[in-house]
Amino acid sequence: MKNEQSKTLSETLIDINAKYSAFLIDGKCSICGAKIKVHKNFINEKNTCEKCDRDIIEKQERIKRIEFNIPLGYRHMTFDNYRVDKMTKNSDVAFSIARNYLVRNEGVYLYGAPGQDKTHLMIASMQMCILSGKNCRLLNYSNELRNYKNRGWTKEDIFEKYANCKYLFIDDIGATGTKDDTVDILYGILQRRIEILKTKKVFITANIPLADIGDDRVISRIIGMCTSYGSREDGIEKEVNIVEIGGKDKRLEGAL
């Protein structure tokens, strides 16, 4: 009989597994109820199967992506705490469009005065996409694009970062005007997404109507990306996800 020192590594591992197996009994995964083997000393603990372990790890990774991609002050914005306001024009329509953004192929353009929860809907949609495993990016138009030179970025840096992600979210167009080269950059981002990724997936919030952007190229691209076509008995059905949200400024209401 071999002594412990003369055993190979594989033989030692087999012995360890055999000894450990003696302590295993039938149990259930505390999440899905699947039958698993558990250590008899931990039968009353929360034991999970390999599939649920993987799901937990994947969920933790997606939460990390939310923390990486969404600013701290925005992370509370979800569909669960969004309030559809009957006094706000198209609040219910905007909610429905944002809620279904993940499963639709076209983009969204929500616009209206400040304080209409446009950003709330966009961030809620973005969080849903991230938790579903999608590659998402958030671009704050009034901050990042207008100050890109101060950050040491080039236009190519911006294109690389925002034109190549699967799901792009652009916040706050028009908050500080659209008269500088940021409109050219926005056009470049949209055009590359259309040409290279062949995608319409862009979610935009703005303080101005689309026509006020002032650049026909950008307006045309956004209209095309926000338009879908379907068939029905009496012909082609066209849907354009360009929605104005109007009502009282919720930020001011909350402050008064």
CA 143-241-114 angle, 5° bins: 40
Report the pLDDT value the prediction gives residue 173, as an integer from 0 to 100. Answer: 92
For residues 17 and 83, state if they share a domain: no
In a domain, 256, yes or no: no
Would residue 2 count as lying in a domain? no
Between CA 94 and CA 112 the distance in angstroms is 11
Identify which has the larger pLDDT, 248 or 219: 219
Report how many domains make up the chain: 2
Residue 90 pLDDT > 60, yes or no? yes
Contact 225, 104 (CB under 8 A): no
Q: Contact 163/192 with Cβ under 8 angstroms?
A: yes
Query: Does residue 183 lie in a domain region?
Result: yes
Same domain, 168 and 206: yes
In the prediction, which pLDDT does 246 show?
85
- Do 117 and 38 lie in one domain? The reply is no
pLDDT score recorded for residue 125: 97
Beta strands in 29-81 (DSSP E): 35-39
Residues 228 and 106 in one domain: yes
Question: Is 205 a domain residue?
Answer: yes
Residue 251 lies in a domain: no
> Would you say 84 and 121 are in contact if contact means Cβ atoms under 8 Å apart?
no
218 with 94, same domain: the answer is: yes
Please check whether residue 37 lies inside any domain of the structure: yes
Looking at the structure, tell me whether residues 22 and 105 fall in a common domain. Answer: no
Question: What's the chain's average pLDDT?
Answer: 83
**In this structure, is residue 87 part of a structural domain?**
yes
Structural domain range at position 168:
59-246
CA distance 245 to 114: 10
Does pTM top 0.85 for this prediction? no
Please indicate, yes or no, if residue 140 is contained in any of the structural domains. yes
Do 44 and 103 fall within a single domain? no
H helix or E strand, kind and range, residue 184: helix 182-192
Q: 166, 65 in Cβ contact below 8 A? A: no
Rounded distance between C-alpha atoms, residue 232 and residue 115, angstroms = 37
Q: What is the pLDDT of residues 34-69, one digit of tens each?
A: 888 887 655 556 788 888 888 888 888 878 888 888
- CATH code for position 185: 3.40.50.300
